[in-house]
Amino acid sequence: LPAAVLLKDTKLMDVKLGQLGTWLAMRDFTPGGILGAMRRGYDRYYNKYINVRKGGLGGISMLLAGYIVLSYAWSYSHVKHDRRRKYH
Amino acid sequence: MLSRLVLRAAPAALRALPPPVAVGVLHTTRPLHTTQQSLAPVPPLPEKGGEVRHGLIPEEFFQFMYPKTGVTGPYMLGTGLLLYILSKEIYVINHETAAAACILTVIIYGIKKFGANVAAFADKLNEEKVATALAMKNEAMQALQTAIEEEKKEQWRVEGRSYLFDAKRNNIAMLLEANYRERLMMVYSEVKKRLDYQVAMQNLKRQKEQDYMIQWVEKNVVQSITPQQQKESIAKCIMDLKALSKSAHAAV
Protein backbone atom coordinates (compact mmCIF):
# COMPACT_ATOMS: atom_id res chain seq x y z
CA LEU A 1 0.00 0.00 0.00
CA PRO A 2 1.32 3.45 -0.73
CA ALA A 3 1.89 5.77 2.19
CA ALA A 4 -1.49 6.81 3.54
CA VAL A 5 -2.61 10.00 1.88
CA LEU A 6 -4.05 12.46 4.32
CA LEU A 7 -7.84 12.53 4.21
CA LYS A 8 -7.56 16.23 3.80
CA ASP A 9 -5.77 15.90 0.46
CA THR A 10 -7.96 13.25 -1.21
CA LYS A 11 -10.21 14.27 -4.00
CA LEU A 12 -13.95 14.02 -3.63
CA MET A 13 -14.22 11.06 -5.99
CA ASP A 14 -11.75 9.05 -3.91
CA VAL A 15 -13.44 9.65 -0.58
CA LYS A 16 -15.31 6.63 0.74
CA LEU A 17 -18.93 7.17 1.63
CA GLY A 18 -18.33 6.70 5.34
CA GLN A 19 -15.58 9.27 5.39
CA LEU A 20 -17.69 11.88 3.66
CA GLY A 21 -18.73 13.65 6.86
CA THR A 22 -15.18 13.98 8.19
CA TRP A 23 -13.95 14.99 4.77
CA LEU A 24 -16.52 17.78 4.54
CA ALA A 25 -15.66 18.96 8.02
CA MET A 26 -11.99 19.22 7.08
CA ARG A 27 -12.60 21.50 4.12
CA ASP A 28 -11.58 25.14 4.28
CA PHE A 29 -14.64 27.23 5.04
CA THR A 30 -12.93 30.54 5.64
CA PRO A 31 -13.94 33.32 3.23
CA GLY A 32 -10.53 33.05 1.62
CA GLY A 33 -11.00 29.32 1.29
CA ILE A 34 -14.47 29.71 -0.21
CA LEU A 35 -13.20 32.28 -2.66
CA GLY A 36 -10.31 30.02 -3.54
CA ALA A 37 -12.68 27.14 -4.14
CA MET A 38 -14.88 29.29 -6.37
CA ARG A 39 -11.85 30.50 -8.28
CA ARG A 40 -10.62 26.95 -8.74
CA GLY A 41 -14.03 25.77 -9.91
CA TYR A 42 -14.29 28.63 -12.37
CA ASP A 43 -10.79 28.00 -13.69
CA ARG A 44 -11.48 24.31 -14.15
CA TYR A 45 -14.70 24.89 -16.06
CA TYR A 46 -13.21 27.72 -18.10
CA ASN A 47 -10.09 25.87 -19.10
CA LYS A 48 -11.98 22.71 -19.96
CA TYR A 49 -14.88 24.02 -22.01
CA ILE A 50 -14.24 27.61 -23.10
CA ASN A 51 -10.51 28.32 -23.35
CA VAL A 52 -9.93 25.97 -26.30
CA ARG A 53 -9.21 26.37 -29.98
CA LYS A 54 -12.53 25.09 -31.29
CA GLY A 55 -14.97 25.61 -28.47
CA GLY A 56 -18.32 24.01 -29.01
CA LEU A 57 -21.84 24.76 -27.95
CA GLY A 58 -21.66 22.73 -24.75
CA GLY A 59 -19.58 25.31 -22.91
CA ILE A 60 -22.21 28.01 -22.69
CA SER A 61 -25.28 25.80 -23.06
CA MET A 62 -24.40 24.00 -19.83
CA LEU A 63 -24.13 27.35 -18.06
CA LEU A 64 -27.47 28.44 -19.48
CA ALA A 65 -29.12 25.19 -18.48
CA GLY A 66 -27.74 25.58 -14.98
CA TYR A 67 -29.10 29.12 -14.88
CA ILE A 68 -32.54 27.93 -16.04
CA VAL A 69 -32.66 25.24 -13.39
CA LEU A 70 -31.53 27.64 -10.68
CA SER A 71 -34.07 30.28 -11.60
CA TYR A 72 -36.83 27.66 -11.72
CA ALA A 73 -35.81 26.52 -8.26
CA TRP A 74 -35.90 30.08 -6.94
CA SER A 75 -39.33 30.72 -8.42
CA TYR A 76 -40.86 27.36 -7.45
CA SER A 77 -42.91 28.85 -4.64
CA HIS A 78 -44.57 31.06 -7.22
CA VAL A 79 -45.01 28.27 -9.80
CA LYS A 80 -46.51 25.95 -7.17
CA HIS A 81 -49.88 27.60 -7.60
CA ASP A 82 -50.22 26.38 -11.20
CA ARG A 83 -50.23 22.75 -10.17
CA ARG A 84 -53.14 20.67 -11.47
CA ARG A 85 -53.42 18.53 -8.35
CA LYS A 86 -52.74 19.55 -4.83
CA TYR A 87 -51.74 16.14 -3.49
CA HIS A 88 -49.35 13.84 -5.26
CA MET B 1 50.51 52.73 -22.84
CA LEU B 2 50.83 52.63 -19.11
CA SER B 3 47.06 53.06 -18.77
CA ARG B 4 46.59 49.94 -20.88
CA LEU B 5 48.86 48.00 -18.56
CA VAL B 6 46.86 49.14 -15.57
CA LEU B 7 43.59 48.17 -17.25
CA ARG B 8 44.94 44.74 -18.00
CA ALA B 9 46.04 44.21 -14.41
CA ALA B 10 42.75 45.43 -12.88
CA PRO B 11 40.57 42.30 -13.33
CA ALA B 12 43.24 40.03 -11.94
CA ALA B 13 43.57 42.30 -8.93
CA LEU B 14 39.80 42.38 -8.45
CA ARG B 15 39.60 38.61 -8.57
CA ALA B 16 42.24 38.40 -5.88
CA LEU B 17 40.01 40.38 -3.47
CA PRO B 18 37.98 38.29 -1.00
CA PRO B 19 34.36 37.66 -2.05
CA PRO B 20 31.91 40.21 -0.70
CA VAL B 21 29.87 39.23 2.35
CA ALA B 22 26.21 38.37 1.68
CA VAL B 23 24.10 41.46 1.98
CA GLY B 24 21.32 39.81 3.97
CA VAL B 25 20.33 36.34 5.01
CA LEU B 26 17.13 35.04 3.41
CA HIS B 27 14.83 33.57 6.01
CA THR B 28 13.22 31.09 3.67
CA THR B 29 13.16 27.36 3.55
CA ARG B 30 11.53 27.32 0.14
CA PRO B 31 14.11 26.80 -2.59
CA LEU B 32 14.12 29.59 -5.12
CA HIS B 33 14.49 29.25 -8.87
CA THR B 34 15.02 25.52 -8.86
CA THR B 35 13.35 24.90 -12.20
CA GLN B 36 13.40 26.78 -15.42
CA GLN B 37 11.05 29.67 -15.90
CA SER B 38 7.63 28.12 -15.96
CA LEU B 39 5.97 30.93 -17.92
CA ALA B 40 7.56 30.35 -21.29
CA PRO B 41 6.96 28.67 -23.60
CA VAL B 42 3.24 28.73 -22.90
CA PRO B 43 1.69 25.34 -23.63
CA PRO B 44 -0.60 25.50 -26.67
CA LEU B 45 -4.37 25.62 -26.21
CA PRO B 46 -6.14 22.28 -26.40
CA GLU B 47 -7.81 21.67 -29.73
CA LYS B 48 -11.29 20.77 -28.55
CA GLY B 49 -13.07 21.31 -25.27
CA GLY B 50 -14.54 18.65 -23.08
CA GLU B 51 -17.06 16.42 -24.81
CA VAL B 52 -20.67 17.29 -24.09
CA ARG B 53 -23.50 15.07 -25.17
CA HIS B 54 -26.71 16.67 -26.44
CA GLY B 55 -25.19 20.01 -25.53
CA LEU B 56 -26.14 19.55 -21.90
CA ILE B 57 -24.45 16.62 -20.19
CA PRO B 58 -20.68 16.12 -20.07
CA GLU B 59 -19.36 12.92 -21.49
CA GLU B 60 -17.70 12.03 -18.20
CA PHE B 61 -21.11 11.28 -16.72
CA PHE B 62 -21.82 8.62 -19.33
CA GLN B 63 -18.34 7.15 -18.85
CA PHE B 64 -18.87 7.13 -15.11
CA MET B 65 -22.05 5.08 -15.42
CA TYR B 66 -20.91 2.79 -18.21
CA PRO B 67 -19.25 0.05 -16.08
CA LYS B 68 -22.35 -0.48 -13.95
CA THR B 69 -25.25 0.21 -16.30
CA GLY B 70 -23.90 0.03 -19.83
CA VAL B 71 -24.80 2.37 -22.63
CA THR B 72 -28.46 2.98 -21.84
CA GLY B 73 -27.96 3.58 -18.14
CA PRO B 74 -27.86 7.38 -18.14
CA TYR B 75 -30.79 7.53 -20.55
CA MET B 76 -32.88 5.35 -18.26
CA LEU B 77 -31.85 7.54 -15.39
CA GLY B 78 -32.90 10.62 -17.35
CA THR B 79 -36.26 9.11 -18.27
CA GLY B 80 -36.95 8.05 -14.71
CA LEU B 81 -36.03 11.45 -13.37
CA LEU B 82 -38.24 13.15 -15.95
CA LEU B 83 -41.24 10.99 -15.13
CA TYR B 84 -40.69 11.52 -11.40
CA ILE B 85 -40.45 15.25 -11.80
CA LEU B 86 -43.57 15.39 -13.93
CA SER B 87 -45.66 13.09 -11.82
CA LYS B 88 -44.83 14.74 -8.55
CA GLU B 89 -45.25 18.08 -10.29
CA ILE B 90 -41.90 19.28 -9.18
CA TYR B 91 -41.88 20.64 -12.70
CA VAL B 92 -45.29 22.20 -13.30
CA ILE B 93 -46.72 22.31 -16.81
CA ASN B 94 -48.16 25.73 -17.39
CA HIS B 95 -48.10 28.49 -20.00
CA GLU B 96 -44.38 28.87 -19.54
CA THR B 97 -43.90 25.29 -20.67
CA ALA B 98 -45.50 26.08 -24.02
CA ALA B 99 -43.36 29.18 -24.42
CA ALA B 100 -40.24 27.22 -23.48
CA ALA B 101 -41.11 24.50 -25.98
CA CYS B 102 -41.52 26.98 -28.84
CA ILE B 103 -38.36 28.85 -27.97
CA LEU B 104 -36.35 25.68 -27.63
CA THR B 105 -37.63 24.37 -30.95
CA VAL B 106 -36.58 27.51 -32.75
CA ILE B 107 -33.22 27.60 -31.02
CA ILE B 108 -32.44 23.98 -31.77
CA TYR B 109 -33.54 24.38 -35.38
CA GLY B 110 -31.31 27.44 -35.73
CA ILE B 111 -28.34 25.68 -34.21
CA LYS B 112 -28.74 22.63 -36.36
CA LYS B 113 -29.01 24.68 -39.50
CA PHE B 114 -26.45 27.44 -38.96
CA GLY B 115 -24.18 25.94 -36.37
CA ALA B 116 -21.51 24.80 -38.77
CA ASN B 117 -21.39 28.13 -40.60
CA VAL B 118 -21.04 30.16 -37.46
CA ALA B 119 -18.36 27.81 -36.20
CA ALA B 120 -16.44 28.14 -39.47
CA PHE B 121 -16.70 31.91 -39.35
CA ALA B 122 -15.47 32.05 -35.77
CA ASP B 123 -12.65 29.70 -36.67
CA LYS B 124 -11.65 31.93 -39.53
CA LEU B 125 -11.50 34.96 -37.25
CA ASN B 126 -9.38 33.02 -34.82
CA GLU B 127 -7.13 31.83 -37.61
CA GLU B 128 -6.53 35.39 -38.74
CA LYS B 129 -5.65 36.51 -35.25
CA VAL B 130 -3.27 33.62 -34.78
CA ALA B 131 -1.80 34.21 -38.24
CA THR B 132 -1.04 37.87 -37.52
CA ALA B 133 0.53 36.98 -34.19
CA LEU B 134 2.58 34.26 -35.83
CA ALA B 135 3.63 36.62 -38.60
CA MET B 136 4.79 39.15 -36.05
CA LYS B 137 6.75 36.49 -34.22
CA ASN B 138 8.35 35.29 -37.44
CA GLU B 139 9.19 38.83 -38.46
CA ALA B 140 10.76 39.50 -35.13
CA MET B 141 12.79 36.32 -35.36
CA GLN B 142 13.83 37.19 -38.91
CA ALA B 143 14.85 40.67 -37.87
CA LEU B 144 16.91 39.26 -35.03
CA GLN B 145 18.48 36.74 -37.38
CA THR B 146 19.52 39.45 -39.81
CA ALA B 147 20.79 41.48 -36.89
CA ILE B 148 22.94 38.53 -35.86
CA GLU B 149 24.32 38.18 -39.36
CA GLU B 150 25.02 41.89 -39.60
CA GLU B 151 26.83 41.70 -36.29
CA LYS B 152 28.94 38.79 -37.50
CA LYS B 153 29.77 40.74 -40.63
CA GLU B 154 30.79 43.71 -38.55
CA GLN B 155 33.02 41.47 -36.50
CA TRP B 156 34.60 40.19 -39.70
CA ARG B 157 35.09 43.74 -40.86
CA VAL B 158 36.86 44.60 -37.66
CA GLU B 159 39.56 42.11 -38.59
CA GLY B 160 40.52 44.34 -41.48
CA ARG B 161 41.39 47.30 -39.35
CA SER B 162 45.09 46.51 -39.57
CA TYR B 163 44.93 47.27 -43.31
CA LEU B 164 43.08 50.46 -42.57
CA PHE B 165 45.73 51.60 -40.15
CA ASP B 166 48.49 50.69 -42.55
CA ALA B 167 46.89 52.76 -45.26
CA LYS B 168 46.50 55.68 -42.88
CA ARG B 169 50.07 55.38 -41.77
CA ASN B 170 51.19 55.39 -45.40
CA ASN B 171 49.14 58.47 -46.07
CA ILE B 172 50.64 60.33 -43.17
CA ALA B 173 54.15 59.26 -44.10
CA MET B 174 53.60 60.55 -47.60
CA LEU B 175 52.31 63.85 -46.30
CA LEU B 176 55.34 64.24 -44.07
CA GLU B 177 57.65 63.35 -46.92
CA ALA B 178 56.00 65.83 -49.26
CA ASN B 179 56.20 68.57 -46.67
CA TYR B 180 59.83 67.83 -45.98
CA ARG B 181 60.72 67.99 -49.65
CA GLU B 182 58.80 71.19 -50.08
CA ARG B 183 60.77 72.81 -47.31
CA LEU B 184 64.00 71.45 -48.69
CA MET B 185 63.15 73.00 -52.03
CA MET B 186 62.39 76.31 -50.39
CA VAL B 187 65.67 76.32 -48.53
CA TYR B 188 67.53 75.53 -51.72
CA SER B 189 65.82 78.28 -53.68
CA GLU B 190 66.37 80.86 -50.98
CA VAL B 191 70.03 80.05 -50.66
CA LYS B 192 70.38 80.12 -54.42
CA LYS B 193 68.72 83.51 -54.55
CA ARG B 194 71.15 84.96 -52.05
CA LEU B 195 74.15 83.46 -53.80
CA ASP B 196 72.90 84.72 -57.15
CA TYR B 197 72.58 88.13 -55.64
CA GLN B 198 76.15 88.08 -54.46
CA VAL B 199 77.35 86.87 -57.86
CA ALA B 200 75.37 89.54 -59.65
CA MET B 201 76.79 92.17 -57.33
CA GLN B 202 80.30 91.06 -58.07
CA ASN B 203 79.68 91.02 -61.79
CA LEU B 204 78.14 94.43 -61.69
CA LYS B 205 81.05 95.83 -59.76
CA ARG B 206 83.55 94.25 -62.13
CA GLN B 207 81.68 95.59 -65.12
CA LYS B 208 81.45 99.06 -63.73
CA GLU B 209 85.13 99.07 -62.90
CA GLN B 210 85.96 97.91 -66.41
CA ASP B 211 83.78 100.50 -68.05
CA TYR B 212 85.13 103.23 -65.90
CA MET B 213 88.67 102.18 -66.55
CA ILE B 214 88.14 102.08 -70.30
CA GLN B 215 86.55 105.46 -70.21
CA TRP B 216 89.39 106.87 -68.17
CA VAL B 217 92.01 105.36 -70.44
CA GLU B 218 90.27 106.74 -73.50
CA LYS B 219 89.91 110.12 -71.95
CA ASN B 220 93.52 110.24 -71.02
CA VAL B 221 94.62 109.05 -74.40
CA VAL B 222 92.49 111.62 -76.09
CA GLN B 223 93.86 114.27 -73.80
CA SER B 224 97.37 113.17 -74.47
CA ILE B 225 97.03 113.57 -78.15
CA THR B 226 98.59 117.04 -78.56
CA PRO B 227 97.77 119.21 -81.61
CA GLN B 228 101.26 118.57 -82.94
CA GLN B 229 100.82 114.90 -82.85
CA GLN B 230 97.43 115.29 -84.44
CA LYS B 231 98.88 117.14 -87.42
CA GLU B 232 101.64 114.62 -87.78
CA SER B 233 99.31 111.72 -87.69
CA ILE B 234 96.97 113.32 -90.23
CA ALA B 235 99.89 113.98 -92.62
CA LYS B 236 101.03 110.40 -92.15
CA CYS B 237 97.62 109.18 -92.97
CA ILE B 238 97.40 111.23 -96.11
CA MET B 239 100.74 109.91 -97.25
CA ASP B 240 99.73 106.42 -96.60
CA LEU B 241 96.55 106.92 -98.50
CA LYS B 242 98.48 108.28 -101.44
CA ALA B 243 100.81 105.38 -101.43
CA LEU B 244 97.92 103.07 -101.31
CA SER B 245 96.15 104.78 -104.13
CA LYS B 246 99.29 104.58 -106.18
CA SER B 247 99.66 100.93 -105.62
CA ALA B 248 96.00 100.53 -106.40
CA HIS B 249 96.40 102.39 -109.68
CA ALA B 250 99.36 100.27 -110.50
CA ALA B 251 97.43 97.13 -109.82
CA VAL B 252 94.70 98.15 -112.13
Angle between helices B73-87 and B59-69 (to 10 degrees): 100
Q: What is the pLDDT of residues B75-118, one digit of tens each?
A: 999 999 999 999 998 999 999 999 999 999 999 999 999 989 99
> Which residues from chain A sit within 8 angstroms of residue B50, using beta carbons?
48-49, 58
Residues B123-170: tens digit of each pLDDT? 899 899 999 999 999 999 999 999 999 999 999 988 888 899 999 999
Residue B208 lies in a domain: yes
Residues 22-81 of A with CB under 8 A from B: 48-59, 61-62, 65, 72, 76, 79-80
Q: Give the 3-state secondary structure of residue B43.
A: coil
CA atoms within 13 A on the CB side of B225: 10
Cα–Cα distance between B71 and B59 in angstroms, integer?
A: 12
Question: Is residue B206 domain-resident?
Answer: yes
pLDDT of amino acid B217: 93
DSSP state, residue B160: T
CA distance to B22, B132, B138, B149, per residue, from B142 (Å): 42, 15, 6, 11
Q: Which residue of B has its CA nearest to A44?
A: B50
pLDDT in tens, B218-248: 998 888 877 778 888 899 999 999 999 998 8
Which one has a higher pLDDT value, A79 or B228? Answer: A79
Residue in A53, A57, A80 closest to B46 by CB: A53
With the C-alpha atoms ordered A73, A76, A79, A84, is the resulting torsion angle positive or negative? Answer: positive
Domain-embedded: residue B215: yes
Centroid of chain to Cα A80: 26
> Quick one: pLDDT at residue B20?
53
Report yes or no on B232 lying in a domain.
yes
B234: Cα separation from own chain's centroid: 108
Q: Does some domain include residue B210?
A: yes
Q: Which residue of B has its CA nearest to A58?
A: B55
Higher pLDDT, A8 or A2: A8
* Residue-range definition of the domain harbouring residue B205: 186-240
- Total count of domains within chain B: 1
| B56/B11 Cα distance (integer angstroms) | 71
Q: What angle do CA B183, B184, B189 make, to 5 degrees?
A: 95
Whether B218 maps to a domain, the answer reads yes
Angstrom distance (rounded) from CA A35 to CA B220: 149
pLDDT, position B200: 96
> Measuring CA to CA, how many Å separate B75 from each of A20, A52, B61, B208?
28, 28, 11, 151
Kindly state the DSSP code that residue B44 receives in the 8-state scheme.
P
Can you give the pTM of this predicted structure?
A: 0.55
**What digits encode the pLDDT tens for the residues A16-56?**
888 888 888 888 888 888 899 899 999 988 888 888 888 77
Instruction: Compute the distance between CA of residue A67 and CA of residue B57 in angstroms, rounded to an integer.
Output: 14
* Pairwise CA distance, residues A56 & A62, whole Å: 11
A chain contacts of residue B84, beta-carbon cutoff 8 Å: none
Q: Taking a C-beta distance cutoff of 8 angstroms, is the pair A68, B96 a contact?
A: no
Q: Is residue B6 part of a domain?
A: no
Instruction: Calculate the dihedral angle through the C-alpha atoms of B140, B143, B145, B146, rounding to the nearest 10 degrees.
Output: 180
- The strand pairing partners of B52, in sequence order, are B58
Task: Quick: pLDDT tens for B32-84.
Answer: 666 666 666 777 788 888 888 888 888 888 988 899 888 999 999 999 999 99
Confidence band for B24, pLDDT divided at 50, 70 and 90: low
- The model's confidence at residue B251, banded by pLDDT at 50, 70 and 90, is confident
Establish, for the pair of chains A and B, how many residue pairs have beta carbons separated by less than 8 Å: 64
Rounded to an integer, what distance in angstroms lies between the CA atom of residue B57 and that of residue B63? Answer: 11
Question: Is residue B69 a contact partner of residue B76, using CB atoms and an 8 Å limit?
Answer: yes
